[in-house]
Structure 1
């Protein structure tokens, strides 16, 4: 028997169990997230079936679960809110294909490394804000009072208080009961996988027998039996959706990178994030023809997949197939699910997303730029459409990177200590007569940091016979700006009869130093290229300075 078939048979029981578990959780989640997105819950079910199954075959990660996630759902709601209700399905499918095209483009361009420029502080503010929107957006369904679409933000609470007399006690009871049952089942190890689905079923039975007036899914949308008929997205709608689709693609990919980097493969390696990007992109392009919403890797769903014992990508394939089977066999039964019950599940999910006090406290306490970036991103999620908040977050992340990189770039003095080692000290403001001052650039050397570096170099003043040894970082991305700065400083130093020596110079800069006039300004024999031995070039420069050669 071939080894591959043996491995497949060995892992199949575990993958079946994991696939069944994530399918049980994914059914109410898919419907609920579609509700958050403001679309028919059946599109959430289609996405839970097709996107999960197809993504299992195309992504690089064996465990990554591709689905309509909570943060994506809130963002989709922001995009679809101005769209007339009759045009929502067609707009949704075009949005899915555009998100897929952008994701595929990111993968082909190998843009995975660019996501590191979105800081943890910005991402924390964004996710917390999105989670709060999930909670606020479900207060209407939880209480039975239908909130106006424009009130689903921080205005939801005063809107509810103003209409407290219109809250339906039966709907509120069903919603709170669902939350209580879900929390209780999460504490029972053998029932954890049923903690979302079972409370919804109990709530549906209760409403059918005791509270017939509570709103059901069937009151707002029809859930047909069977799989969806293929559709062709109307690309005439695409021009107006390009910017929101790019934002959704960025949101999805940033979340997916977090999943990939925290979920190792079975052999302990980390999957190729660019293949994950491409796989998610192709998945969304294909599923846009199958009436699916935009999807991406989900951290919570992937974590559940691993915790449930998944061993291969077959677990996600099985999960999607099982959800599809439920749609075929019992799709219309989903119409009997009470809206307050789904709202309760979504409020729980939103509360879990916001439950990261240690991360928030750490950022607030130890990172001043991160503190304000987190706060600004959070506020933007509450006052702007969510898809634009991610652009604000990206710009804030880049601003933090530029500001902190520039601040860190400075010049320090290397004071010799016993054993041939050096201690970093602040660079002197002026050179002293007959002295040897060893300096090193601390931080990144690129065009934005050159002014800070030049300002922190000691002034020659009226010093005589002084020697300055400047050790450059081995990685320099400053080009001609660096050569001009070194030439200016060299002329200042040598004008008074002093000497400038450059050490640890990357060999690839030698031609540029010659062409940029630096060699001429500091004189021959004053450049010591870096060697494979760290510090060897610097020690050679110090010996030359002491010998006067």
Structure 2
């Protein structure tokens, strides 16, 4: 059901509630994530308004909330850190444009399936590392002692302790009070929707009344009333931003796929991730002209949208419009928000991202490659610019895929049991005289696994009168390498007077077996093509052996 459909009046009340809820949460989040990114908080508010509203109708997902997310914000900070402060806005808008172009390109070439090569272990290490950077990056605003920009990493903690005498007690009190209030309000159902905004308002009143020396948003940036005038990004900055923009696009899309796959549509189906890619890309391209930061689907914001009762895309449209209305009516009031209060909210968000012990423990206990990939990705987030850590993660994910799929590829023996079933057993090292041995390939069959498969085939050396039936996987994409492997083994088996049979052979491989010389090495009548009935070809091969055919 779309927002413009015949039932829009029925869904409007629920969408109003959801849109209002996410807007109330999105206002402090948008400002806070802009601070994490090292840009004027107004750009975070613009993004919360325009990207959310425009993305509502361009993505494939009904509930997907497009915004400046926490992980993107840390990555943007890494890109902008070496940029002179006066050039930061122009660089930000070009970055948004390029991220959008890359995202749109991914959608057009239907690259959604490629994101499955980023393992969950790598993603966990990356998100945990990014969350820690969020916390470390806000220690200065929380305590009043500003760390150097290049010191925002795990070594910032001992550096902060060495300068404990420079911590401002008033700033620390305001920040910790904000965290405490947010945690308390989250436990009250009626206050849950304002559990981030209300503590910030209380902290602003407290700072105005009792702690005028606490730093405010207005001390670092001017927040003007009204929406931004369109601005053409400076194309001259494009060459130096291509590589980091590609990394940001990958980060945003990997996160968005996680949102799409865990948030079903109203009818229970899963939205088209490629349309999500294209929609986010077009959104970023358009909003780059409206002074917005790069945006992508946010898991936490989308989950809140669904939990708040959203029924159609209109909920995100309403959310964006409400944030825009707040900017127009009360934009300058944002300058009165204490920086320690925003820092407290961001530290709370970062802590929630880090606190996933079940996920981390599961990866650590049950996946050796995943364990080290998670750890390596986490370390890379602390020692490399975050936008390059995703490249490390992608390479590690591909490495895990290749290693595990190669290890899993092997040959097993199928032993007949009652009822026409088969029991898997490890394949023996050698064939037995005058015995039928049924073998099956277990695991993925592609060029990198062929050697492992060939090594696990029983040796025919010295065997007499043995018969081997090798069952091939129905879907196989190994090409000429597979034909050479099968041909070599067939010649070894038949050289000693034994018989080699292929069963469940994909009919598409028959011509390749002929051209590759495999059919000649096997001999006539020893290839049994697969039929639509699974196992029928294997049983036909067994009957042929028993009949002496």
- Shorter chain as denominator, the TM-score bin is over 0.9
The aligned residue for residue 424 of structure 1 is: 424
> Structure 1, residues 192-249: CA drift from partner, whole Å, max 9, x if none?
0111011101111111111010000000000011101111111111111111111101
**How far apart are the structure 1 equivalents of 2:56 and 2:513?**
53
Shift in Å at residue 6 of structure 1? 4.4
**How far apart are the structure 2 equivalents of 1:411 and 1:211?**
73
Alignment of 1:48-67 (within 5 A): 48-67=48-67
Compare 16-25 and 4-13 and name the one that shifted more.
4-13
SS in 2 for 1:184: helix
**How far apart are the structure 2 equivalents of 1:265 and 1:120?**
23
Alignment of 1:191-270 (within 5 A): 191-270=191-270
Give TM-score scaled by structure 2 length. 0.99
SS in 1 for 2:82: coil
The aligned residue for residue 107 of structure 1 is: 107
Give TM-score scaled by structure 1 length. 0.99
The aligned residue for residue 380 of structure 1 is: 380
The aligned residue for residue 301 of structure 1 is: 301
The aligned residue for residue 518 of structure 2 is: 518
Alignment of 1:99-138 (within 5 A): 99-138=99-138
The aligned residue for residue 277 of structure 2 is: 277
> Structure 1, residues 136-164: CA drift from partner, whole Å, max 9, x if none?
11000000001100111112111111111
Asked whether 1:453 is paired with 2:421, we answer: no
The aligned residue for residue 184 of structure 1 is: 184
Alignment of 1:24-39 (within 5 A): 24-39=24-39
Q: How big is the alpha-carbon RMSD for the aligned residues of Structure 1 and Structure 2? A: 1.1
**How far apart are the structure 2 equivalents of 1:155 and 1:456?**
49
The aligned residue for residue 78 of structure 2 is: 78
Where do 4+ consecutive residues of structure 1 move more than 4 Å?
A: 3-6
> Structure 1, residues 275-297: CA drift from partner, whole Å, max 9, x if none?
11000000000000000000000
**How far apart are the structure 2 equivalents of 1:372 and 1:517?**
44
**How far apart are the structure 1 equivalents of 2:292 and 2:406?**
45
Shift in Å at residue 431 of structure 1? 1.2
> Structure 1, residues 48-68: CA drift from partner, whole Å, max 9, x if none?
000000000111111100000
Shift in Å at residue 462 of structure 1? 1.1
Shift in Å at residue 546 of structure 1? 2.1
**How far apart are the structure 2 equivalents of 1:334 and 1:317?**
22
Shift in Å at residue 419 of structure 1? 1.7
Shift in Å at residue 4 of structure 1? 5.9
Asked whether 1:404 is paired with 2:404, we answer: yes
Asked whether 1:392 is paired with 2:392, we answer: yes
SS in 2 for 1:541: helix
SS in 1 for 2:212: coil
Shift in Å at residue 547 of structure 1? 2.1
Structure 1 pair 6/467, CA: closer, same or farther in 2 (3 Å)?
closer
SS in 2 for 1:477: coil
The aligned residue for residue 489 of structure 1 is: 489
The aligned residue for residue 149 of structure 1 is: 149
**How far apart are the structure 1 equivalents of 2:4 and 2:360?**
46
Shift in Å at residue 110 of structure 1? 0.8
**How far apart are the structure 2 equivalents of 1:446 and 1:132?**
39
The aligned residue for residue 536 of structure 1 is: 536
SS in 2 for 1:319: helix
Shift in Å at residue 5 of structure 1? 5.8
Shift in Å at residue 519 of structure 1? 0.6
> Structure 1, residues 288-328: CA drift from partner, whole Å, max 9, x if none?
00000000000000111111111100010011001001101
**How far apart are the structure 1 equivalents of 2:386 and 2:5?**
46
> Structure 1, residues 516-536: CA drift from partner, whole Å, max 9, x if none?
000111111100000111111
**How far apart are the structure 1 equivalents of 2:181 and 2:432?**
77
**How far apart are the structure 2 equivalents of 1:26 and 1:433?**
74
Which runs of 5 or more structure 1 residues have no equivalent in the other structure? none
**How far apart are the structure 2 equivalents of 1:182 and 1:79?**
31
Alignment of 1:315-334 (within 5 A): 315-334=315-334
